[in-house]
Amino acid sequence: MVNLNHHVNLPKKLNYLIIITSDNIYSKIIRNEKFEDISGKIAEDIIVSNGNKVIDKIYLPNDLKTIREKVESLINNPEIDVIIVSGGTGISKKDVSVEAILPIFEKILPGFGELFRFLSYSEIGTSAIASRAIAGTKNNKLIFILPGSPKAIKLALEKIIIPEAPHLIKMMREY
């Protein structure tokens, strides 16, 4: 018999913070130029359409120290339940989001990355192995590090994060 008591009394509305790591967007912001952020818009739309709130969207360069310091500065904010970091999960030299945030985690959720790559495989094939998407916790907050592509953001949020985040938050806060 399956016990589903852990899926009752879940938080109804979570507060999300979105961090977009992109040298291109960041340099345009610095120069006061217009920019398009398709992935950030998709993330915000999905989060809000599911009854949650986006409390802020922050743009950072692909810089390990900058990313780590920003996440560390936000981790004690009691308004934040979930932090989504978009970008920096590939294998190029500029992909440093995982290295920036991994040391911050109290607990790692390896199943997130495994499930994300499994679901990605059905959409993009063996290229899914290049993603280092990962998730973890710190100070009763969930942190997800996702690829920056619009399809990856949509997949992760719709298929994994939005459905499971309330349960994970409840587990951290109650047990």
Question: What domain range includes position 111?
Answer: 14-174
**Looking at the 3D structure of the chain, how many domains does it have?**
1
- Shortest CA distance to 66 belongs to which of 30, 97, 95? 97
What pLDDT, on the 0 to 100 scale, is given for residue 44? 98
3-class state of residue 4 by DSSP: coil
Contact 139, 73 (CB under 8 A): no
Q: Check: CB of residue 14 under 8 Å from CB of residue 142.
A: no
Q: Is 107 exposed, middle or buried (0-12, 13-18, 19+ CB in 10 A)?
A: exposed
Q: What is the DSSP string of 98-140?
A: HHHHGGG-SEE-HHHHHHHHHHHHHHHGGGGGG---EEEEETT
CATH code where residue 132 lies: 3.40.980.10
Q: Does residue 7 lie in a domain region? A: no
Q: Is 2's pLDDT higher than 50? A: no
pLDDT in the model for residue 166 = 96
Label residue 11 by pLDDT band (50, 70, 90).
confident
The reply to whether 2 falls in a domain is no
Q: What is the pLDDT of residues 41-100, one digit of tens each?
A: 999 999 999 999 999 999 999 999 999 999 999 999 999 999 999 999 999 999 999 999
User: Can you give the pTM of this predicted structure?
Assistant: 0.93
Nearest to 17, CA basis, from 51, 42, 47? 47
Per residue in 131-161, pLDDT tens? 999 999 999 999 999 999 999 999 999 999 9
| Per-residue confidence (pLDDT) for residue 4, from 0 to 100 | 55
On whether residue 50 sits in a domain, the answer given is: yes
| Residue 173 or residue 150, greater confidence | 150
Residue that the structure tokens 């950072």 belong to: 60
